[in-house]
Structure 1
Amino acid sequence: MACVSSLAVGLATVMAYAPPAPAGGVCDNVSIRLLPKLIPTPKFLAPYLPFLGTDETSTQGIISMWKCATEYQKTNWWFVLFFFELTYLSLKSFAIPATFAMCILAGAIFPLWLSQLLTSTGEVVGSSMCYALSSVMAKPMLERWAADKLEDFRKKAHEERDHLFLFNVFLRLSPFPNWLINASSPIVGNPLPQFVLGTFFGTQLSICFLAQGGSVLKTLGEKGFSITQMTKDMLPVASAMFFLQFIPLAMIRHLKRKKEEKAAALHKTE
């Protein structure tokens, strides 16, 4: 309740002091209801998820939000800053997978260093709030709809209980859905301190790349910007993240070997 109340008070305060919409109608079709359309859905899933967007609607949605935010920034820079961060925190807290588009938008409307700061804070704080909410209300739903994944995650977390920080970094670099990591971590016994640190260090590369994609939107405008093309351009970063996930795995294996050698040496001495 504290998490939900804090977000509600923050959003209500910002909206209470919201400036009037810019002239020219640039913000006419831009609202919170546009957020689901920012999530590109594969074609084979589109008939089953009509409330989500396609590649085209996602691209156009991001462009519309960028134009609106840019106009607001000319006279109300702080309003855009606070509203963006509160929206990002809300999405992460309730496990809504729209932060892909929000990271692109951050790179388009803020300098890179500020974009990285805002999205990093949103990832860590929002994921922690999701962790807290999940610990009191998500267990029955996850055990019903994702029982197999939950059991696998629980076994793995128990196996790596001595190296949970590295394990959490690995999770953020792996293809495992971030929303499921956030929601299931308190249920499987993944401690909050290691969860927070792993989230921070494991998400920096991906959010930085998405912000760079947003800077393309700012530089080129609507011409030359495409979610489809950007997804293809992400291949080098996806490859880098694939290889980076082996670093924490290698470190975990090394620490385990050292522990086994130490135990064997102690046993031999005895």
Structure 2
Amino acid sequence: MTSQADIGTRLIQCAEISSSSDRYYRPFVSSFSFSGRSTYRRPYRRLFHIRFPNPVPVMVPTEQTTFDIDRSLPGHLKIPKDSISTKAATISVIVIFLTSLTALFLVYQTFPNVTEEEKQHIKLPWNMEDAKQLGIVLNRYKSDHYYQVMAGVFITYIFLQTFAIPGSLFLSILSGFLFPFTMALALVCTCSMIGATLCFMLSQLLGRKLVLAYFPERAAKWAVQVNKHRDNLFNYIVFLRITPFLPNWFINLSSPVIGVPLAPFAFGTFVGVAPPSFIAIQTGQTLNDMTVNDSAFNPRSIMWLALFAVVSLLPIFLKNRFKQKED
């Protein structure tokens, strides 16, 4: 049993994405020991090395953590009571994934009976041919089972987004084939926002350990960019969703780790996925003519995406210009 004197409060700042150096840093892990009223810190392991060409100080919020002193091991600190190990976080994500997969399977059990030939096409589309064959099967049953087909696409899309599984692009194309353009666009944007938000919340609960364990360098670099655009996060998220500079799964997982608020993240996702979804849905309307080697994006569509990306940054540019004039 520990007394009040055995409790110490420390302000801990993430070493992976912050440093006091203005040129470069080599963060390290330290052990703490106590002797009387003195506290000693001994660094014993260096982490990765990052050099920034134009260093920008990053203000990372600190968190207050209470440690218990283990008297059976004099001079050493226990792990914080509210911490979770990387192994425990990984196991928790796997359990949640399997539970969601079971729920998805139960939804598919409500689908109408299909022939053996059609059943082989009821699977996640990984290429244009898979999406085409799945679209042909679902289109046959859409008139009599419209809401079951829509619910299947809706839940599958959210499942892929929540667990950062590839394949949502082909579901966007499939939506353009099955539903009217306006409805398909609203469906895809809504599914993207809900799935990304669930992934954000899952990462906020369990993903910090995983992101900092497996992607520390990439998270550190993005933390610098987020800090530079802290006053314009909505437009910045829109820009990232339109452009391919960062994969969507990494944005979803790392955003809560580096302090991106949920509101600009969610609404920025809804708006930002609209331009690429617009192109994918247009492609879906001609899905019958597509082959396995065809792509949803061509030079013309890429030019449109670049234009949308520039437009998303215009509010930031105008805001900075007005601010300079006022100063």
Where does residue 285 of structure 2 map in the other structure?
A: 215
Matched, 1:229 2:286: no
2:283 corresponds to 1:192: no
Letter in 2 for 1:14: V
State how far apart, in whole Å, the 2-side matches of 1:78 and 1:250 are: 40
| Alpha-carbon shift at residue 19 of structure 1 (Å) | 2.4
- The structure 1 residue matched to 2:134, chosen from 65, 74, 77, is 65
Cα offset, 1:161, TM superposition:
1.0
Answer whether contact 2:128 2:292 (CA < 8 A) is retained.
yes
CA contact (8 A) 2:158 2:194 kept: yes
Q: Which residue matches 1:28?
A: 119
Q: Is the 8 A contact 2:237 2:268 kept in 1?
A: yes
Match of 1:17 among 98, 103, 110: 110
Match of 2:223 in 1: 154
Q: CA deviation at 1:182?
A: 1.1
C-alpha contact 1:107 1:211 (8 A) present in aligned 2:
yes
Task: Give the Cα–Cα distance (whole angstroms) in 2 for the partners of residues 111 and 146 of structure 1.
Answer: 40
Within a 5 Å distance, the mapping from 1:1-270 to structure 2 comes to 11=104, 14-21=107-114, 23=115, 25-31=116-122, 34-35=123-124, 38-39=125-126, 58-175=127-244, 176-217=246-287, 221=288, 224-231=289-296, 233-262=297-326, 264=327
Aligned AA (1:206): P
Structure 2: gaps spanning 5 or more residues: 1-91
Deviation by residue 1:99-142 (Cα, 9 ceiling, x = unmatched): 11101111111121221121111011111111111111222222
1:17: Cα distance to partner?
A: 3.0
Q: 1:257 deviation in Å?
A: 3.8
Question: Matched residues in 2 for 1:158 and 1:79: separation?
Answer: 44
Q: Scaled by the length of structure 1, what TM-score is found?
A: 0.77
Q: Which runs of 5+ in 1 are unaligned?
A: 40-57, 265-270
Which has the larger share of strand? 2
- What amino acid is the match of 1:195? F
Check conservation: 2:158, 2:192, Cα contact below 8 A. Answer: yes
- Count of matched residue positions in the alignment of Structure 1 and Structure 2: 232
Q: Work out the percentage of aligned pairs sharing the same amino acid.
A: 24
Going from structure 1 to structure 2, the CA distance change for 1:227 and 1:241 (only over 3 Å counts) comes to farther
Distance 1:11 1:141 in 2: 25
Deviations 1:158-200 (A, max 9, x none): 1111111111111112212111111111111111111111111
Q: 1:200 to 1:67 in 2, by over 3 A?
A: same
Q: TM (normalized to structure 2)?
A: 0.64
Question: Post-superposition shift, 1:150?
Answer: 0.9
CA contact (8 A) 1:10 1:86 kept: no
CA gap of 1:216–1:5, structure 2 versus 1, over 3 A, is same
The separation in 2 between residues aligned to 1:227 and 1:115, in whole angstroms, is 22
Structure possessing the higher relative contact order (Cα contacts under 8 Å, 6 or more residues apart): 1
Greater Rg by CA: 2
Letter in 1 for 2:185: Q
Q: What are the Cα deviations for residues 43-82 of structure 1, in whole angstroms up to 9, with x where unaligned?
A: xxxxxxxxxxxxxxx2321122112212222422221111
RMSD over aligned Cα, in angstroms? 2.4
The change in CA–CA distance for 1:67 and 1:238 in structure 2 (over 3 A counts) is same
SS of structure 1 residue aligned to 2:223: helix
SS at match of 1:212: helix
Structure (1 or 2) with the greater helix fraction? 1
Q: Which secondary structure state, in structure 2, belongs to the residue aligned with residue 230 of structure 1?
A: coil
Deviations 1:244-264 (A, max 9, x none): 3223334323323433443x4
TM-fit CA distance, 1:15: 3.5
Instruction: Report SS of the residue matched to 2:227.
Output: helix
Is contact 2:189-2:271 (8 Å) kept? no
